[in-house]
Amino acid sequence: MSIIKPFYINDSSILINLSTNLCKTNIEILESVGFRQVLVKLMSGINQNSNRSLWRLVKMVPIVEELIDFYKMLLILPFEEAVESKADFHKYGNYRNELVMLTERLYDYWRKYERYGIIQRQVADIHTDNSVLIETTTTFWKNVLSLYRSMLGKLLGKPINIYRQTPGGFNAGFIVSPAEYHLPKGYENLNEINVINAVLIRTPFIGHSKSNARSGLFQETKTNPIPTLQLTKRHWLLFPIKVGELYAHVYFHRTLLHHGISLSNLFEPAFEDYCEQKKPDLIYVYGSHETEQDKTYYFDKENEIYVGYVSRLPENDYFGYMKKMLLTLHNIYEIRHQKLPIHGAMVNVVLNDDSETNIVIIGDSGAGKSETLAALRFIADEKIKEMNVVFDDMGVFLINKNSIYAKGTEIGAFTRLDDLETGYAYKELDRAIFLNPERHNARVILPISSYDFISREHKVDYVFYANNYEDANGSMCFFENANDALAIFREGKRKAKGTTSEEGLVTSYFANPFGPIQMEQETEIILQRMFGILFDQNVKVGELYTRLGIPGKENKGVNEAARAILRLLLNH
């Protein structure tokens, strides 16, 4: 078993191993290595240009241990007595206000970090109660808050009148256990990495990454990148998940914990599959330092495993690299098995008379597919009984009894905040994961469907291409034949919205750079066959004008497109 370090801190996150470093009392917090490291980092960043009052206090402290000892004395004595208790403490008597400022600054500084707690379990067991994760992290939060209030009360010399239950504990937590499943030969350096059993998220979770857009395509490599990776195993975690019907092992480095947590809102966990010793269909390693085969995928024919790798270069620190590599691996698998990957959104709509209609909107990133469905949900009011999302970004078409059906890949949605109806994301705060909310291309990840629902076969009734660049008359039109439709869908034109490094009007084969563009020849055969069936079965195929790429018409265009869909449904 790889023992995780008791306390780890980098520029943006803190990781605490609660199995070896659980502080149960205020004195234990003050005496911990972690408290000292956070205090040192705070004090080292204070200078006369940042805050002159705090700078005078910091200059006066010879070593940080003296200040910690003074805090410990405040646990048992009033400020006046603590100052007199030791000759070294006499000088603090003239810096009471500065100590109040430093204490408040320290608490705020701690809370600016993404804070993670990990419990290491000795054995992987799907039947073990995971509520200990809630209890342990809640106790830690209470202790941190208690220490802060105790110190502040002593320094102020009066009771606190207004209490704010600020989230001063962990933003998220994991239960992990030793690896029990051993991968085939050639993957030995991934064995013995701790596997995630359970996840706790204190919502709303707010994560920050160094990058905020994805660039380039994932390319196939002819050599497996995994055997040459040099991994320090205690710095890594394995998250077993389902990507559609496929079972995936996702390995990520501790500096990318915010992306690991985000997986839990987007994909179905698969710890039970891990305990049953299933061989993964997909393996993804995200965050090693090697760059020779960065952003590549590999098909291991001998073991029937699809492998992906992305390094931890700063520009790769973006959730799009976590999500889209997994979907690329999934899509390549599906193309090889004669299914058509769909980059789009699909919703099952139930009207008040209990009739059901399944609508698919296809388009590349920023085309407005999921935003239109979110707007439809917002404006539908009492006209629609249910809206059930089959997929929000990626699904597959398959043939069953000469009809086209679809399945989903994800249980959640990864959506631009700017393109959602005002206030929609904030109505879902209790479940939301926000990524870089203060920056361009801010995102929210919300769970929206059950795995049981997305993995069923749903018959396709309408298929639209999301046109975000054309200001046409009306919000939708329909094609008369497969050739006309394929000309539009195959070109995959859109106005780039800043979700990637692309700019202006761009094209992408079948609006899907995550598998089909890498396997265009194989995809084209499946594409023509399936669109032929759509028209043979009189499925309506058309174009939806979202106007999401037209400045000033983003929200209006999406809302009008949603209203057009609503009218179509009500007249269906």
Which domains are seen in the chain, by residue range? Answer: 7-156 (no CATH), 179-336 (no CATH), 340-411+448-570 (3.90.228.20)
Task: Report the pLDDT value the prediction gives residue 546, as an integer from 0 to 100.
Answer: 96
Say which DSSP state 211 is in: -
Task: Report the pLDDT value the prediction gives residue 426, as an integer from 0 to 100.
Answer: 65
Amino acid, single-letter form, for residue 417: L
Strand partners, 7: 16
Compute the distance between CA of residue 292 and CA of residue 94 in angstroms, rounded to an integer: 58
Question: What pTM did the predictor assign?
Answer: 0.94
Task: Report the pLDDT value the prediction gives residue 571, as an integer from 0 to 100.
Answer: 86
Q: Tokens 């990776």 sit at which residue?
A: 229
Name the strand (E) or helix (H) holding 380: helix 369-380
Task: Report the pLDDT value the prediction gives residue 555, as an integer from 0 to 100.
Answer: 85
Compute the distance between CA of residue 73 and CA of residue 83 in angstroms, rounded to an integer: 9
Task: Report the pLDDT value the prediction gives residue 441, as an integer from 0 to 100.
Answer: 87
Amino acid, single-letter form, for residue 126: I
Q: Which of 187, 200, 182, 173 minimizes the C-alpha distance to 4?
A: 173
**Residues present in the chain in total:** 572
Q: Are the CB atoms for 522 and 459 separated by under 8 Å?
A: no
Compute the distance between CA of residue 111 and CA of residue 166 in angstroms, rounded to an integer: 9
Q: Are the CB atoms for 127 and 26 separated by under 8 Å?
A: no
Compute the distance between CA of residue 572 and CA of residue 566 in angstroms, rounded to an integer: 10
- How many other CB atoms are there within 10 angstroms of residue 142's CB atom? 12
- How many other CB atoms are there within 10 angstroms of residue 190's CB atom? 21
Tokens of 220: 């196939």
Strand partners, 437: none
Beta-sheet pairing, 246-253 with 268-269: unpaired
Amino acid, single-letter form, for residue 525: I
Compute the distance between CA of residue 62 and CA of residue 163 in angstroms, rounded to an integer: 33
Cα angle 339-530-336, degrees, rounded to a multiple of 5: 25
Q: Which of 290, 119, 268 minimizes the C-alpha distance to 195?
A: 119
Compute the distance between CA of residue 344 and CA of residue 363 in angstroms, rounded to an integer: 5
Tokens of 296: 């590549």
Compute the distance between CA of residue 517 and CA of residue 523 in angstroms, rounded to an integer: 8
First-to-last CA distance in the chain?
59
- How many other CB atoms are there within 10 angstroms of residue 472's CB atom? 11
Task: Report the pLDDT value the prediction gives residue 1, as an integer from 0 to 100.
Answer: 61
Say which DSSP state 500 is in: B
Q: Are the CB atoms for 367 and 506 separated by under 8 Å?
A: no
Task: Report the pLDDT value the prediction gives residue 250, as an integer from 0 to 100.
Answer: 98
Q: Are the CB atoms for 93 and 83 separated by under 8 Å?
A: yes
Compute the distance between CA of residue 563 and CA of residue 572 in angstroms, rounded to an integer: 14
Torsion of CA 271, 276, 281, 282, to 10 degrees: 30
Q: How far is CA 56 from CA 26, 38, 50, 109, 301, in A?
A: 27, 19, 11, 19, 66
Positions of the chain with pLDDT under 50: none
3-state secondary structure of 29: helix
Compute the distance between CA of residue 234 and CA of residue 193 in angstroms, rounded to an integer: 7
